[in-house]
Amino acid sequence: MKQFEQDRLIEILEFLKDYSNKPYRNPANETDKIEKVRLENLKSKGQNALSLFKDMCTHLEDENYKKKVSSKWLDGSNRYVRNYLWAEIKRKDKTNLSSSISVFAEKEDDKIRFRLSLEIRGEDSNKDDYIRHNRFLDYLNVAEEDFEYFGTRNKDISLEDLSKESIKEYIQEVKERKANKIQIGKTIDYEYVKNHSTDDVINIMKDTVNKLKKYYEIAVQEGEEVDINTTKNNNSPKNIILYGPPGTGKTYNVCNKALEIIDYEKYKDIINDPTKRDEVVKEFNKIKEDGLIGFCTFHQSYSYEDFVEGLRSDGSGGFTPKDGIFKQLCENASTKSQKELISYNPLENKAKNYVLIIDEINRGNISKIFGELITLIEEDKRIGEKNELKVTLPYSNESFGVPNNLYIIGTMNTADRSIALLDTALRRRFDFIEYMPNEELLSKDIEGINVSKLLKTINDRIEFLLDRDHKIGHAYFIKENLSFEDLVLIMKNKVIPLLQEYFYDDFEKIDMILGGSGKIGNSDYLLNKSIIKASSLFKSNQGFMYPDQVKYSVVERPNKKAFIRIYEEIKDETLDSNTNLPNEE
């Protein structure tokens, strides 16, 4: 697939930014030479933007899901430039249905962005189509899914402006057929596209499409009953990476994901219920002991010999090949007897699935660890697939391939290493699922402290001063019967040390994030600040040449005001261009 050049994505949005709703006439009919040149230039830019948009959407296709791009950059009258470009991504066998994963490049009011959403076309739909499509809402968990919501609740209120609680209310209205539809998805705005690599943006789009597929599959199932197990099977990529800042639930969700892959129907009641976490862990460990789940952690010294196979001493002065965890699990998935497979999963005689979990996958040298096997993990290169591929291993000289019932789940902490630095070969072969902080899961009143707003404010400031990859996850604040004393310990022992690591002990920035600092002994802040004078430490003839230094310390017992001041309202003192400045007298 053709690699997208840098700045191609921003070129699409800039066309809409500059020309949306601008008038247009066919330059062939224009007699004024200057106007003719202007119109020909506009036509060329419109066709180019549409071509780039089409190329972008190609990166979101796969073997089963194909795109269809609207061929128009002009409105229906051909007299004005559209304020959007649009494509539909559908299953090849469901193109007759009006449901799709829609991709937009759009200018809407002051918003210039890409948008991906689960959509149903109104002009092609009747009541039954809407009923079928809206069934996905029965399976949508607003609190856990990191979706944005699009549509209009009434003529004055956009869904994008509503809280998650209000979204839940609106969803109930849609389910009760009081409203027509709601779109779920994600937006990537102009500024983000401008300041990030093309690979970053394309990967976010791929992640979003993969998340939406689960609900699209529900929306296009025909008949009265929905088979969730089929939906899960159709949308379980063989290779995935769960990535995000620390504390966002990657490790938590890897257990759920593994059970979902092993046998969704068997475990669906516990993986979808946060209160049954203990049962999830118990089942995960049991399956791990049974050999269906393998686990390893990549690090800088991890090698091909650890992962695939290497030579080990045979105790007699010689060396013999020894299998690594990847080869062991592949062989288990390939060679278990059919009788054993059927006893585990007796319905349609399906082979049981195996899962390899690779923690900290970004910390290893991928080329060194996978070697020639990096190609074999691709879905179409697996044993039994149309492009099945095997290699001869270097130590054992055995013929080796990767079975199609082995799934690989990697986890990646973006604060440890940016996703942009990942090995390109790895990026092409894995689907990426992003886990970001979800402040909505946190309490809004712990002894008068709005923990949800507290974390959101801290993360907004981190993103402004650093980047979004270093946000702080909600999991740090999730604790049964969370108290104020717990909050103090979380901030002192977890959050502030993380901030010190992120900002290399630049306490001036940490001061900004935590709402300021007070004098020594002031418990209204999380930090105290003092000035150290050289003259107080050294004799006068030794210390005069050294400037004063600022010293920060973490407050031992901060009070509630110290937490509230972090997120309390900030007075906006920004002056606009029309503000009269005071006379300089």
- Model confidence at 583, pLDDT cuts 50, 70, 90, reads very low
For the residues 436-456, what does the mean pLDDT come to?
Answer: 92
Query: What does the pLDDT read at residue 270?
Result: 87
Q: What is the DSSP letter of 557?
A: S
SS3 401: coil
pLDDT tens figures, 362-396: 888 888 999 889 999 998 899 988 889 999 999 99
For the residues 289-313, what does the mean pLDDT come to?
Answer: 92
Query: What does the pLDDT read at residue 349?
Result: 47
Query: What does the pLDDT read at residue 22?
Result: 94
pLDDT tens figures, 192-210: 999 888 888 888 898 899 8
Asked if pLDDT for residue 232 goes beyond 70, the answer is no
Query: What does the pLDDT read at residue 405?
Result: 92
Query: What does the pLDDT read at residue 165?
Result: 81
Query: What does the pLDDT read at residue 4?
Result: 63
Contacts for 496-505 with beta carbons within 8 Å, 24 or more apart? 496/526, 496/554, 498/246, 498/415, 498/472, 499/462, 502/415, 502/462, 502/466, 502/470, 503/465, 503/466
Q: Could you give the CA distance from residue 308 to residue 209 in angstroms, rounded to a whole number?
A: 32
For the residues 229-249, what does the mean pLDDT come to?
Answer: 79
- Model confidence at 419, pLDDT cuts 50, 70, 90, reads low
**Mean pLDDT score of the chain:** 86
Query: What does the pLDDT read at residue 337?
Result: 40
The DSSP string of 25-48 is --GGG---HHHHHHHHHHHHHHHH
Closest CA to 271 of 185, 443, 144: 144
- Model confidence at 259, pLDDT cuts 50, 70, 90, reads very high
Asked if pLDDT for residue 146 goes beyond 60, the answer is yes
Question: Quick one: CA torsion of 104, 108, 111, 114, rounded to 10 degrees?
Answer: 0
Query: What does the pLDDT read at residue 3?
Result: 56
For the residues 555-578, what does the mean pLDDT come to?
Answer: 76
Asked if pLDDT for residue 487 goes beyond 90, the answer is yes
Q: Strand pairing of 293-297 and 354-359?
A: parallel
* Helices 250-271, 277-289: crossing angle, 10 deg rounding: 100
Asked if pLDDT for residue 541 goes beyond 80, the answer is no
Query: What does the pLDDT read at residue 1?
Result: 45
End-to-end CA distance of the chain: 66
- Model confidence at 315, pLDDT cuts 50, 70, 90, reads confident
| Cβ proximity of 463 and 450 under 8 Å | no
| Least confident span in 261-265, 506-510, 544-548 | 544-548
Query: What does the pLDDT read at residue 573?
Result: 45
Those residues whose C-beta lies under 8 Å from the C-beta of residue 336, and which sit 6 or more positions away, are 351, 352
* Helices 33-58, 8-19: crossing angle, 10 deg rounding: 140
- Residue type present at position 495: V
pLDDT tens figures, 97-130: 999 999 999 998 889 999 999 999 888 788 888 8
Query: What does the pLDDT read at residue 571?
Result: 56
Neighbours of 233 (CB within 10 A): 15
> What are 322's strand-pairing partners?
310
- Residue type present at position 334: S
Neighbours of 208 (CB within 10 A): 27
pLDDT tens figures, 317-374: 888 889 999 999 999 998 654 445 444 454 474 568 999 999 999 888 888 999 889 9
Those residues whose C-beta lies under 8 Å from the C-beta of residue 469, and which sit 6 or more positions away, are 245, 414, 415, 418, 419
- Can you list the positions of beta strands (E) in 217-364? 239-244, 293-297, 309-313, 319-323, 354-359
> What are 116's strand-pairing partners?
103, 186
- Model confidence at 576, pLDDT cuts 50, 70, 90, reads very low
